[in-house]
Amino acid sequence: MDSTNRYTRLKSLSDFGYDINWEKLSEKKVLIIGVGGVGSIVAEMLARCGIGELNIIDLDIVEEVNLNRLFYLKEQIGEPKVEVVKKILSTVNPGVNINSFMTDVCSNEFEGKLDELIKQCNLTFSCLDNLPARLYINQKCVALDKAYVDTGATRSGLGGYIHLVLPRKNACYSCTGSLDLGSKEKGESCTASLPSTIAIIASIATEISLKHLLEFGKIPDYIGFNALDDVYIHQKTPRDPNCYVCGDKRYSKTEKESSLKQIQSITEGKSVDELIEELGEEKRRIEDE
């Protein structure tokens, strides 16, 4: 199939009055950190849309427990996730340049390469399942002044969020997303996951990235959703000028630790699940009035 046919249906969006230059996508490079439930689907959708370069990082191998979600197959159990994604997506779209890195993204040895990748890519995706790595990627992208999409699912598997972070323009993860502190402080990974929730998060994250990369449509700062009550919230996330990552002040290590504790006390140690469930209750309360 030639490239005209492959992308015909994407280009047809212009027939409906949307001025989107799909050719430009082949010039774009993205970095996807974590190719689990969310990251693998984001990678597949961007490959199918004709992204120029995919850089993928993950340390994990495919396990049977991953098979309730999309993408991975039973015969791939035991294989490195990054290698499976690279192999499959090279077949899906040979026009995409795919680089894979099977490594711990937070390791000292990889730090130089990570900086290089974030700098050379047009957009980074944080599709991680633990707080320390999220905080690390947030600090890196803010320090390097590079946009990134942060994604997360709640531990119940019934909610999640998508947040496009534009350093020093809107809130970074530490301004808002530290709401996770209560439940993921020790780097625990998720305990429940629904393929539908994961696919919703991946789809919204991909759509936001296409709008950002090709400059069309409107992008909300933050989308949170609670699948149980079917509540979707769009939230403006103004930057916290006192944020220890993106704020104007320079903080010492001790001050940063105390700032983290402060955020925890503001959110009363509540997890994202609890906060999103509260939003659902609030919506029902308003409807009942």
Shortest distance in whole angstroms from residue 39 CB to Zn ion: 23
Distance CA 162, CA 225 (A): 9
DSSP assignments along 83-151, one per residue = HHHHHHHHHH-TTSEEEEE-S-TT-GGGHHHHHHHHHHSSEEEE--SSHHHHHHHHHHHHHTT--EEEE
- Asked if 190 is an active-site residue, the reply is yes
Q: What is the torsional sign of CA 79, 81, 83, 84? A: positive
Rg (CA), the chain: 19
Q: Kindly indicate which of the ranges 23-31, 116-124, 173-181, 186-194 contains the residues binding Zn ion, using the contact rule CB under 5 A.
A: 173-181
Shortest distance in whole angstroms from residue 238 CB to Zn ion: 10
For position 175 contacting Zn ion by CB under 5 A, the verdict is: yes
For position 32 contacting Zn ion by CB under 5 A, the verdict is: no
Q: Kindly indicate which of the ranges 43-51, 55-63, 168-176, 265-273 contains the residues binding Zn ion, using the contact rule CB under 5 A.
A: 168-176
Site string for Zn ion, 234-263 (x = CB under 5 A): ---------x-xx-----------------
Report the interhelical angle of 37-49 vs 81-92 (nearest 10°): 20
Tell me which of 76, 130, 156, 174 binds Zn ion, using CB under 5 A.
Answer: 174
Shortest distance in whole angstroms from residue 85 CB to Zn ion: 30
Q: How many residues bind Zn ion (CB under 5 A)?
A: 6
Strands 148-153 vs 159-165: parallel, antiparallel or unpaired: antiparallel
Strands 231-235 vs 222-226: parallel, antiparallel or unpaired: antiparallel
Phi first, then psi, for residue 125 (nearest 5°) are -115, 130
Closest CA to 14 of 218, 219, 216, 212: 216
Complex with Zn ion: residue 162 or 245, whichever CB lies closer: 245
Contact 210, 217 (CB under 8 A): no
Complex with Zn ion: residue 89 or 175, whichever CB lies closer: 175
For 162, counting Cβ atoms within 10 Å of its Cβ (0-12 exposed, 13-18 middle, 19+ buried), the class is: buried
Nearest residue to Zn ion on Cβ basis:
243
Interaction with Zn ion in 91-150: which residues (CB under 5 A)?
Answer: none
For position 170 contacting Zn ion by CB under 5 A, the verdict is: no
49, 106, 190, 243: the catalytic one is: 190
Contact 71, 100 (CB under 8 A): no
Shortest distance in whole angstroms from residue 172 CB to Zn ion: 3
Shortest distance in whole angstroms from residue 195 CB to Zn ion: 32
For position 164 contacting Zn ion by CB under 5 A, the verdict is: no
| Catalytic residue IDs | 190
| List of residues contacting Zn ion (CB under 5 A) | 172, 174-175, 243, 245-246
